[in-house]
Amino acid sequence: MDKIAITGSSGRIGRALHWKLCQNFRVEGLDISPSSATSKIVDVRDYDQLLRSFEGVDTVFHTAALHAPHVGIASERDFYEINVYATEKIARAALESGVSQLVFTSTTALYGYATYGKEQAVWIDEQTPPEPKTIYHQTKLAAEQIVKDYASKDLAVSVIRMSRCFPEPVHTMAVYRLHRGVDYRDVAEAHLLAAQRKKENFFDIYVISGMTPFEKSDSQMLYENPELVIRLRQPLLAKEFDKRGWEFPKSIDRVYDSSYAQRILKWKPTKGSLEVIKQFDQGDFEILPPG
């Protein structure tokens, strides 16, 4: 990775990637919004801009997208233009420019309805069929198919399906780190490891989520009475909840299993539920007060 381009460099993951990469590589940060991590104002829907930006680039990290908070605000046309059609342009421009690999930021949200009607916590990994609910889920899944179609010996593609990592109330985020959340810095590290991995094939998908203490045998009880399971599997977190008077969740319907990424990429999430509480106590604005 001599020269690198990051689309969406002003966003949460883009900024984290830029910070990690700019210490050792030449990095071109591309975004429609200016920031300290963005060196070029680029609209990812503009193919000519992409071609110019990818000149001499070895690796493209494509993080730019409309996200879940945009549902109901941005139009379906905008979702398709930015999440799908622009992704196709990025993959095509990368191939035409001689880029050797593309790391695409996707989401575990596209599993959507996979947990519905199960009445127990569902273990979700790369083999679980996505069942998208919203336009956001649909367009991210469509974009995944596009980059898969472009994957070849000339353009290796890695897809990072990341779980929740945006600011939320501390007690919610702490529990999510046990089964469906991850720190944005751990997400950035997974992107880097995917890019550094010697490719045995031209395409792979990785679920990126925090380390879970839960076991599959906990599935029924996680759904019915997660407090008991948390007290058993994560007693230090339960102690913090008791001390602070926080309510435990009423039900847990899913566990994102990142064991494949941990094994293949040698990746390990480092910031779990207790780290969330530590950050909150230190006044980190990424962690919101309990609602």
Residue 144 lies in a domain: yes
Does residue 250 belong to any structural domain of this protein? no
Answer whether residue 51 is part of any domain: yes
Q: What is the mean pLDDT of the chain?
A: 96
Handedness of CA 77, 82, 84, 89 (dihedral sign): positive
In the chain, how many domains are there? Answer: 1
- The model's pTM is 0.96
pLDDT tens string 127-181? 999 999 999 999 999 999 999 999 999 999 999 999 999 999 999 999 999 999 9
C-alpha 201/C-alpha 242 separation (Å) is 48
- When pLDDT is cut at 50, 70 and 90, the band that residue 197 belongs to is confident
CATH number of residue 187's parent domain: 3.40.50.720
User: Residue 177 falls within a domain, yes or no?
Assistant: no
Q: Give the Cα separation of 24 and 3 in Å (integer).
A: 10
Using the predicted structure, report yes or no on whether residue 198 has a pLDDT greater than 80.
no
CA dihedral (142, 147, 152, 157) positive or negative = negative
71 belongs to a structural domain: yes
For residue 58, pLDDT beyond 70? yes
Residue 288 lies in a domain: no
pLDDT at 275: 97
Angle at 180 between CA 30 and CA 14, to 5 degrees: 10
Mean pLDDT of the 102-122 span: 94
- Tell me the residue range of the domain where 261 lies: 3-169+182-210+256-270
pLDDT at 1: 60
% pLDDT > 70, the chain: 100
Q: Does a structural domain hold residue 232?
A: no
In single-letter form, the type of residue at position 41 comes to: I
Crossing angle of the two packed helices 12-21 and 184-196, in degrees rounded to 10:
60
* Tokens coding 242: 């008791």
Which residues does 211 contact at the CB level (< 8 Å), separation at least 6? 258, 268, 269, 272
* Average pLDDT over every residue of 37-63: 97
- Residue 233 inside a domain? The answer is no
**CA nearest 208: which of 224, 190, 196?**
190
Identify the band that residue 117 occupies on the pLDDT scale cut at 50, 70 and 90: confident
pLDDT in tens, 253-264: 999 999 999 999
Whether 10 contacts 44, CB under 8 Å: no
Q: Are 19 and 76 in contact (CB under 8 A)?
A: no
What residues pair up with 67 in beta bridges, in sequence order?
none
- Please name which of 104, 149, 81, 78 lies closest in space to residue 8, comparing C-alpha atoms: 104
The residue type found at 14 is G
- Calculated CA dihedral for residues 117, 230, 209, 264, nearest 10 degrees: -110
